[in-house]
Structure 1
Amino acid sequence: MRFKLPLTLGLLLLAAAAPAAAQEGTALSPRVLDEAALPGVMAEAVDSFIVPGYRDLSRATADLAEKSAALCATPSAAALEETRSAFSNVVRKWSTIEIVRLGPALEQNRFERFLFYPDRKSTGLKQVQAILAKHDESATRADSLKGKSVAVQGLGAFEYVLYGTGAETLAGKGGSFRCRYGVAISQNLTAIADELLAAWEKPDGVQSAWKSPGPGNPFFRDSKEAATELLGVLVHSVEMIKDQRLRPFYDGALDGKPDKGRPKLAIYWRSGNTMASIAANLGGLQALFNSAGMEKLLPADSRSIAGSLNFLFKALISATDRVEGPIDAVLADEKQRARLDFIALNTADLLDRLNRDFGGAIGLGAGFSFADGD
């Protein structure tokens, strides 16, 4: 086994989640999508999760912009701490809703402008450092900043402003340029969040397409396409957590030897928001699954699948919340590493259950390939 688990914890989770998979494995009749239930589920996904999620993000970014401006007006250690706290709140709100990586989020490079990650060659970092070193005044205005590289106008750039080399100057007069650059980033984030909210709130826009799949719909020609998109949000997001959030900084064991880890490849490692972000990703996925009422798509004899999925979500979120402290310290602690192993193993299990068990049970076919769209 690639990952090592605390034995009792691992067996408890796997034993509790197993009955649903066993039950579905005995199903003999082919599954057909419940087309009568789907429109209501799609509508709830929009009204109960997506729109509220973008509203929360809009409010959080506006607060960050306000706190950033206050820091520039009256620099102090207390004001810097308030801005950092507001930044962490935006990270949590964004991590909850970033799972909806489609539609308006992909238009005008909004997603990458809000969060440029991963930055494998540190290209973005170098660009941010260059702006700070050269005091590029065009980066201190939101209108001109949005025309620059996506790597210098989002959360990653702002994290470096608040926590990178020289960030301590923000508490005094010596950080004036750095602070004004931060304000421009916060205003840019607010503008993007407001655009995303407006796009989803528009009655005849993307929400209408989600709520009314069928002929003539530019997004979903039938219910199967709509169901595929909705479940695809969950499947692709769990893949993202597994491959882009966990694996870059920790991969369990490599060639039979414990992986020492790469803490500086972890998202938000400077601000200590790595695991809080992953917990918010998982929390957002569970909230989408439940608030949309996706259980309603399951046949009566397969409803236990929803229970096993919620069990996995709860266990994963709880384990993620218990991984505390800077990532470099986490990787040096055996107990914390065991929790990371647990998260990695059961994230893979969650992915399989969503794709194979849930997808198969609602009529998309066991082993449905979301990556290939077939």
Structure 2
Amino acid sequence: MRVLLSLLFLCIGLHGASAQDASPAAGKAQVQRIAQDFVGPRYERLHSTMQAQADAWRRFCGAPSQPGVDTLDTAFRDAVLAWSSVNLVRYGPVSEDFRYERIDYWPERRNEVARGLATLLAVQEPVRADGMKARSVAAQGLPVLERLLHEEGAREQLVTGESSGRRCEIGQAVSDNLATIASEIRDGWSALVAQLGTADEAALRQAATRMATDLLTVYQVVGDQKLDGPLGGSAEEARPKAAQYWRSGLSGPSIAASLGAAAELESLVLGPDNEAVRSARDAAEAAAALSGPVMDLVTTNEGGRELLRLRNAVRLARDQASLAVPPALGVSVGFNSLDGD
């Protein structure tokens, strides 16, 4: 992932005033509008949903029940979708202290989330939110909560299993920690918005470059990792469990939320009646209309074709965004070494 981001960042450069479609004043207005009207509200929502999830775990652990697990699952879904609607933003406070990875460590390497959860279940000392930051990023975020809620036998383990008390303790610690991280990001973003209000032209151009990079990155991640990864070369070669959030069935909805956010960002920059914006919306709508979970679709020829159509829509949206958005922000796109299709 770091290589992917570095390559994309290197491919977006500032080529002088002659290559810029946006004036400095227009570029500053664009950056501030994105920061205030697009990112800020999403971080507010992220914090509120993470806090609601932590509150749900606290209530559940006070009186565990099967209906209570349903409430936890709803809170988890809300948190995943709130995160997915803002996870295209990698610029700013979310990139500090490994916050991005602590929220959502994916793709998982060498089964690290499972090993992180196993360690939490095995330790003798209490698991508390204030100690989570010192642990592996793989043991801190949404993937841990997904396993607590959706692995085989998880519901029974939470309510009546021998480890129910420890699982509750872990769920509370992880969800409280996520609420804290979301609060730090929200507050850090508010401070960054204030800085952008008085920033010089060079700082604003740097911010615009990062925002353009982040937008193109989300298309690359969705197409190459979230779709191509599970698809493989055929239905026989598919890797269903390579889909993000396959346990909870949120692979498709999370992709749709990320693509929908990308479309809204492009609309803010380019205006709603723009070819690139229409392509972005088409991709988001295709994701929202998937006929089943990604992990099921990849195992059939018909489902695979449906996902390939979505992947092609994502690539078209990416290509059009790369041509339209950076110039509107006062930056320009050069050769992208990740292009090869």
What TM bracket, shorter-length normalisation? 0.7 to 0.9
**What's the CA shift for 1:71?**
1.3
Which residues of structure 1 form unaligned runs of 5+? 1-28, 216-220, 297-303
Please say if residues 266 and 325 of structure 2, whose CA atoms lie closer than 8 Å, have aligned partners that are also in contact. Answer: no
Q: Which residue of 1 aligns with 2:252?
A: 275
Residue 154 of structure 1 deviates from its aligned partner by 0.5
Q: CA deviation at 1:360?
A: 5.1
Match 1:241 to one of 218, 222, 228:
222
The AA in structure 1 aligned to 2:265 is L
Retained in 2: the 8 A contact 1:266–1:327?
Answer: yes
- 1:309 is aligned to 2:280: no
1:143 corresponding residue in structure 2: 130
Q: Distance in 1 between matches of 2:207 and 2:173?
A: 38
Cα distance change on mapping 1:362 and 1:44 into 2, 3 Å: closer
Equivalent residue letter for 1:197: R
Structure 1 pair 113–365 and aligned structure 2 pair: CA distance change class (3 A): closer
Counterparts of 1:339 and 1:289, CA distance in 2? 25
| Code of the aligned partner of 2:227 | L
Taking only aligned residues, the RMSD between alpha carbons, in angstroms, comes to: 2.4
The structure having more radius of gyration, on CA atoms, is: 1
TM-superposed deviation, 1:342: 0.9
1:231 to 212, 221, 227: 212
1:162 equivalent in structure 2: 149
Does the C-alpha gap of structure 1 residues 365 and 112 become closer, same or farther in structure 2, counting only changes over 3 Å? closer
Cα–Cα, structure 1 residues 245 and 211, in superposed 2: closer, same or farther, change >3 Å? farther
Question: Partner amino acid for 1:328?
Answer: M
Secondary structure of 1:270's counterpart equals coil
> Cα offset for 1:136?
4.2
What's 2:6 paired with? none
Contact in 2 for aligned 1:316/1:343 (Cα 8 Å)? yes
Closer, same or farther in 2 for the Cα pair 1:114/1:229, shift >3 Å?
same
Give the counterpart letter for 1:226 in structure 2.
A
The structural deviation recorded for 1:189 is 0.3
Among candidates 91, 103, 122, match of residue 102 of structure 1? 91
- Structure 1 position 361, deviation (Å): 6.6
Partner of 2:70: 81
Q: Which residue of 2 aligns with 1:346?
A: 313
Aligned residue number for residue 301 of structure 1: none
Contact 2:158–2:168, Cα closer than 8 Å, also in 1: yes
Aligned residue identity for 2:248: S
Instruction: Verify the 8 A CA contact 1:42 1:211 in the aligned structure 2.
Output: no
Among 169, 182, 189, the alignment partner of 1:200 is 189
Offset at 1:329?
2.1
Give the match for residue 285 of structure 2. 318
CA gap of 1:98–1:362, structure 2 versus 1, over 3 A, is closer
SS at 2:108's partner residue? Answer: coil
Scaled by the length of structure 2, what TM-score is found? Answer: 0.86
The answer on whether the counterparts of 2:270 and 2:328 sit within 8 Å (CA) in structure 1 is no
In 2, are the aligned partners of 1:250 and 1:259 still within 8 Å (CA)?
Answer: no
Structure 2 residue aligned with 1:214: 200
Whichever residue aligns with residue 100 of structure 1, its letter is V
CA contact (8 A) 1:96 1:280 kept: yes
* Runs of 4+ deviating beyond 4 Å: 360-363, 368-371
CA contact (8 A) 2:91 2:210 kept: no
Secondary structure, in 3 states, of the residue corresponding to 1:58?
A: helix
Other-structure match for 1:5: none
Query: 1:275-316: CA deviations, max 9, x gaps?
Result: 1111111111122223xx3127xxxxxxx9x62122112211
How many matched pairs? 319
State whether residues 116 and 139 of structure 2, in contact with CA within 8 Å, keep that contact through their aligned partners in structure 1.
yes
Match in the other structure for 2:270: 295
Which letter maps to 1:178? R
Partner of 1:7: none
TM-score (norm 1): 0.78
* Aligned-partner residue type, residue 342 of structure 1: R
Query: Higher mean Cα deviation, 311-320 or 325-334?
Result: 325-334
Q: Residues of 1 paired with 2:235 and 2:159: CA distance?
A: 41
* Alpha-carbon distance between aligned partners in 2 of 1:31 and 1:52, rounded to the nearest angstrom: 29
- 1:69 Cα shift? 1.1
Q: Deviations over 1:118-164 (max 9, x none)?
A: 113112212212322x25444x2101122111100101111111112
What is the match of residue 152 of structure 1?
139
User: Which residue, 239, 245, 262 being the options, matches 1:262?
Assistant: 239
Aligned-pair identity in percent equals 27
List gaps (5 residues or longer) in structure 2. Answer: 1-17
In structure 2, distance between residues paired with 1:370 and 1:188: 37
